[in-house]
Amino acid sequence: MKHLAMAAFLAAAAAGGSSAEERVNPFLQPTYGTPYEIPPFDKIVYGDYLPAIKEGIRQQEAEINAIVNNPAAPDFNNTILAYEKSGKTLSRVMRVFNALNETDASPEMDAIDAEVSPLYSKASDDIMMNPGLFARIKSIYDRRDQLGLTASQRKAVEDTYLEFTRSGALLSDNDKQRLKDINSQLTELYLQFNKNLLSATNEYKLVVDDKSRLGGLPANAVAQAADAAAEAGMAGKWMFTLHAPSRLPLLQYADDRDLRKDMYLAYINLASSGQYDNKPVIGKLLKLRSEKAHLLGYPDFASYMTANVMAKTPEAAEELLMKIWEPATKRVDEEVAEMQAIADSENKGITIEPWDYYYYAEKVRRAKYNLDEDEVRQYFAIDNVRKGIFYMANRLYGVTFTEMPDAPKYNPEVTVYNVTDDKGEHVAVFMTDYFPRASKRQGAWMDEMQGSFVDPDGTVQRPIVFNVGNFTRPTADTPALLTLDEVETMFHEFGHGLHGMLSRAALRSQAGTNVDRDFVELPSQIHEHWALEPEMLRQYAFNYKTGEVIPDSLITKLQKASTHNMGFTTTELVGAALLDLKWGHINPGDNDIDVAAFEKSVVAELGMPKQVQFRYRSPYFRHIFGSDSYASGYYTYLWAEVLDTDGFELFAEKGIFDPETAKAFRENVLEAGGSADPMEQYVKFRGKRPSVDALLRNRGLAPNDDKNLHQKGGK
């Protein structure tokens, strides 16, 4: 993207000046004129966004008015489908803006976001609370049994009606206005939370000027720290940051306990004090969320957020989590005992603390399984892993990925692919963006710059899907060598990508990942299982130095160690999910919220082991406080794991590339999207409903661990 002066463009747009009039805004053209309508990133400048968004809002308002004023009786095509088709320009620009705001943030993007988010929130509220539009939708909803609708159309009608009622369509005018005010304030708070988190993450630097303190760290981690220091103007030193590829190797390998403690404490106190303190933001969010839930007729925010997904109630989610919690924490006690035994044998004179967990877990792994993850990484160069995920997709679903070197890219590190089926027909565009940078938020995710649909007139649009990660960078001497967790994350996000790319749902609202929130993780998590399957490993795991395929002896070690440290990883995940739900039950009224005290109360209530922290503490729990996408919904990873572990047992039984099983999964899950009830879709694929037993077996937490049928896939 061209970094042009923001102020000049905004001023010109606001004043209607000649520069704004003369500029050809790519978003406002009928077509981009690029292959498969990939956004022309090299032609987009900061000043294009705001005018295009305002015009997109204006166009959608006109489209909604046309639906409302249509003299014909409401039916599916002139109301539901017309509503789905509205806002093309707005969706077009917002998809690009949101994507780049998370991958290439800048002060200019922050300034645009501060103006755009309230506009977009208001426009959405105006539609959701439009009485004329809702009257037509309700008319169709009330007559849905008499209209001869297909199953997917009926579901679209019911989902649309539910969406509008959950957004305030049934409220009084005064309550509608109050809900709009609440949504506007929430939008501003989400912006502030995310800005604080990114700033706090980038602010922290752990600088080491004595190389002797780096004992135990792999050579590539030392080299990356040296490169980071040099880029920051501190050549000859070593710099570590809170980004996972920098933080985790230090916690896992550094012999210097003080270094580990400094890094650990910095991470768990991220965005918890100073100018980037997110605790006051959380307090305000909780009050507004509680008021919103009450306005809409729910006892608390958790009840509101779970009512329209598979779980239906927070209690159902909590019941599942507690079935996992007890065996997970019991395993933590066993893991800590093993670590303490090693520390005692070394005469360290220490008691295992949270900043020791990663370090001694690695020592236990080496002792029990003779497995060194640094050795394992030699077989997981990122290009080979990428070939592996493409091989998996081809074997399972018959799709091929061909690089498009001349395609538009939003960053030089992006790679673009044309995805085709076994007949050579275009299926999707797929983009990858795998390495961390200061402008990119932490974590890994999938999204779309263009969705898919099939209109009644035969118009077809195929998706543009992208995967983003923050994986270990290459150094001057080595390619990017991934950890096992990074490998599984790459397969996980690619699974989301397949959900988007292979969608065949006709309606926009049902295509790809537009499914219940606690079903959306099934496609991502089930594909993790392939990552470490022996048959799969032999196709892509090659030593980056020698080119030799991963030996059977190492595969056997990986299999035996597949549930190593699973007490810790499960406890921190379940703990975070329970913390999220307990935040959702809070009805603070006018009372101030002590975030740290509340977290401590949850720890005490759960009896959480002192050596384990929540996977995300509240001030940096972006899933639940950076938006409402996973609020009172972080449990969904485990809810979906019940499905994915049970589902993969069918592949394990039939063969991991069994064509019939792959076809059933593709048709009933990946292609169907949200066009049918998710449990019905799952049962059509699997032949039965799932239970938690497969999850416990998969994580090695079942009473009889020898029932472990296959390799664990993580998140």
Residue partners of 458: CB distance under 8 A and separation at least 6: none
pTM for this model (two decimals): 0.90
pLDDT at 704: 60
Residue 134 lies in a domain: yes
Give SS3 for 566: helix
Rounded Cα distance, 91 and 450, in Å: 9
Residues 31 and 97 in one domain: yes
Pairing of strands 464-468, 426-433: parallel
Give SS3 for 226: helix
State which amino acid sits at residue 153: Q
Q: Specify the residue for token string 């990939």.
A: 38
User: Domain span at residue 81?
Assistant: 6-128+130-170
Residue 147 lies in a domain: yes
Pairing of strands 400-403, 206-208: unpaired
Please name every residue paired with 240 in a beta bridge, in sequence order, or none if there are none.
206
Residue 50 lies in a domain: yes
Please name every residue paired with 466 in a beta bridge, in sequence order, or none if there are none.
431, 447
Rounded Cα distance, 517 and 138, in Å: 24
* Residue 371 structure tokens: 């497995």
Residue 425: how many other CB atoms lie within 10 Å: 9
pLDDT at 374: 87
Domain boundary among 269, 303, 324: 269
Residue 19: how many other CB atoms lie within 10 Å: 13
Residue 253 lies in a domain: yes
Residues 27 and 148 in one domain: yes
> What separation in angstroms does the CA of 681 have from each of 167, 676, 686?
27, 7, 9
Q: What is the CATH number of the domain that holds 86?
A: 1.10.1370.40
> What separation in angstroms does the CA of 567 have from each of 330, 478, 572?
7, 33, 9
Rounded Cα distance, 153 and 675, in Å: 8
pLDDT at 21: 56
Residues 88 and 220 in one domain: no
Residues 31 and 154 in one domain: yes
Residue 67 lies in a domain: yes
Going by C-alpha positions, the residue among 203, 197, 190 that lies closest to residue 277 is 197
Residue 370: how many other CB atoms lie within 10 Å: 13
Going by C-alpha positions, the residue among 154, 125, 127 that lies closest to residue 142 is 154
Residues 256 and 114 in one domain: no
Residues 14 and 89 in one domain: yes
Q: Specify the residue for token string 């805004």.
A: 25
Give tens-digit pLDDT for 346-388: 999 999 999 999 999 999 999 999 998 889 999 999 999 999 9
Residues 50 and 123 in one domain: yes
- CB contact at 8 A, 410 and 103: yes
- CB contact at 8 A, 335 and 567: yes
Which stretches of the chain drop beneath a pLDDT of 70? 1-21, 704-715
Residues 137 and 220 in one domain: no
pLDDT at 373: 87
Residue 212 lies in a domain: yes
Output phi, psi for 450, to 5 deg: -160, 130
Cα 582 off chain centre by: 21
Q: Identify whether 493 is a catalytic site residue.
A: yes
Rounded Cα distance, 483 and 375, in Å: 10
Residues 146 and 82 in one domain: yes
- CB contact at 8 A, 431 and 465: yes
Residue 240: how many other CB atoms lie within 10 Å: 27
Residues 24 and 122 in one domain: yes
pLDDT at 13: 41
Residues 137 and 258 in one domain: no
Residues 225 and 139 in one domain: no
Give SS3 for 704: coil
Packing angle, helices 566-584 and 314-345, rounded to 10: 140
Residue 23 lies in a domain: yes
How many domains would you assign to the chain?
A: 2
Residue 240 lies in a domain: yes
Cα angle for residues 230, 234, 237 (degrees, 5° grid): 85
Give SS3 for 340: helix
Alpha helices in 167-238 (DSSP H): 173-203, 219-231
Going by C-alpha positions, the residue among 259, 254, 207 that lies closest to residue 235 is 207
DSSP string, 61-98: HHHHHHHHT--SPP-IIIIIIHHHHS-HHHHHHHHHHH
Rounded Cα distance, 20 and 48, in Å: 9
pLDDT at 19: 47
- CB contact at 8 A, 277 and 271: yes
Going by C-alpha positions, the residue among 94, 86, 91, 202 that lies closest to residue 133 is 86
Q: Specify the residue for token string 């949504």.
A: 183
pLDDT at 1: 39
Active-site residue (options: 63, 108, 493, 572):
493
Question: How does 531-566 read in b/e, with b if 16+ C-beta sit within 10 Å?
Answer: bbbeebbebbbbbbeeeeebeeebbebbbebbbbbb
Rounded Cα distance, 192 and 197, in Å: 8
Give SS3 for 451: coil
